[in-house]
Amino acid sequence: MAAEQVSAQLLRQFSPLDGLKRDNLAALARKVQIRELSPGQMLFKEGDTEKRTIYVVSGILELVDQAKVVGKIEGGSEFARNPVAPVYPRRVSARARDRVQFLSIDSDLLDVMLTWDQTGSYEVSELQGEADEGNEDWMTMLLQTKAFHKIPPANIQAIFMRMQQINYRAGDVVLKQGAEGDYFYVLIRGSALVTRETPLSKEGIKLAELHVGDTFGEEALISEAKRNATVTMQTEGAVMRLGKEDFNTLLNEPMLEWVSREEAEQIIQSGGQWLDVRLPSEFENQHLDGAVNIPLYFIRLKISTLDPDKKYVVCCDTGRRSSAGAYILSERGYQAYVLRGGISSDES
């Protein structure tokens, strides 16, 4: 049976999901599906460390320790209201006795949503006003990013409350290469194209395509430089934007981890990687041993070539461009640090 969407009513049968506010529970329901195990199929094995919060909806799930059944969870029972073996690494294995239906939720996402839900009277509906239907989807998408797990819950609430919606037609320019950076943007409807003008291409080379939930505009805010690319709407759509001062206070500062040269060297010696975000010409002239070079304006395009399990120390001459690069990496779940002062400073 294919995975099927769940209702908020179903989620409310489980703890601590039953404590979520109505709108937040509905937003979570859109991200969760009912999955199925065949008789004898393993759900997870002892020692498993994947952070998933699992609930049994129907059927019987056996808990196994060294081939011996030490417990069972039957869907619909009082015991099934709670997550299955919630300690990591898992201390037992879980195997389906018969046909089992279950829910699997990203534990970090659930923790963020529970914390966010409980830090004030804020509800998604308070933000929507005249906004487009389904705006809570982009909010939930943002909350799912690893970056938001680093931001204090009170800041998350303030971020959403201070954002402003702007609507666009197809072909409208949201931000222009060379302009001053003044806002951080989240695309909440439609799609957009990111291009960069070069001496050889006045029309601009394509750097990325943006979709609902994608963010942009942060590089210029962090590096205090001019916009390094143009973003144009491909379709009719809308963005939410956050002013520079609010961005730096609420989003930027909590996410960046600065390290000294000594601390950076320790990270490198433990298997980390120098990531230099300067231009190729600067890199060729001078760079740290073992560093890889991805210019800042290419980092979104090349990010898939990086190892998500590796720690990166991002560097440039001063720390300004590298802080922008580290933010983008952190935003997408990579472990990134910024070399304080840059490679040419005594501070490092």
The pairs formed by 27-31 with CB atoms below 8 angstroms and a separation of 24 or more are 27/113, 27/124, 27/136, 27/137, 27/139, 27/140, 28/105, 28/110, 28/113, 28/140, 29/5, 30/5, 30/137, 30/140, 31/105, 31/109, 31/140, 31/144
Name the residue with tokens 């709407």.
233
Element (H, E) at 345: none
User: How far is the C-alpha of 325 from the C-alpha of 316, rounded, in Å?
Assistant: 10
Largest CA distance in the chain: 69
Say whether 315 is catalytic.
no
Query: Which residue in 316, 336, 338, 343 is the catalytic one?
Result: 316
Q: Cα separations (Å) of 170 from 196, 236, 274, 294?
A: 19, 5, 40, 31
* Catalytically annotated residues: 316
